[in-house]
Amino acid sequence: MPELRVGTTVRMTKIDAELLRIMVCPVIHAPLVQLGDWLYSTEPATRRKYPIRDGIPIMLIDESEVTDQAEFDRVMAETSNTQEMRRRER
């Protein structure tokens, strides 16, 4: 799914909820959450994030980044509702 452009503004691409439900971190197989143009592993031991480029999740370990603890904590707090909904669906 390509990015949506409005004038000169670029909006982030929202990954389909069904696809996000089946995707996992390739390192530890933890669930992922999306914040902006990144998919974050929910595993605190790895704290990895994966970029979304041109609407495509890049799930290569070599392309991922390790976030610092403060960023990981912020993302997990901001996406806690999403994580809770995914747990209920399983």
**Domains detected in the chain:** 4-89 (2.20.25.10)
**What confidence score (pLDDT) does residue 21 get?**
93
Q: Band the pLDDT of 4: cuts 50, 70, 90.
A: low
| Integer Cα distance of 44 and 87 in angstroms | 17
Q: Band the pLDDT of 71: cuts 50, 70, 90.
A: very high
What's the first-to-final CA gap in the chain, in angstroms? 26
Dihedral of the alpha carbons of 84, 13, 66, 27, in degrees to the nearest 10: 70
Higher pLDDT, 8 or 53: 53
> pTM of the predicted model, to two decimals?
0.79
| Integer Cα distance of 85 and 90 in angstroms | 9
**What confidence score (pLDDT) does residue 85 get?**
58
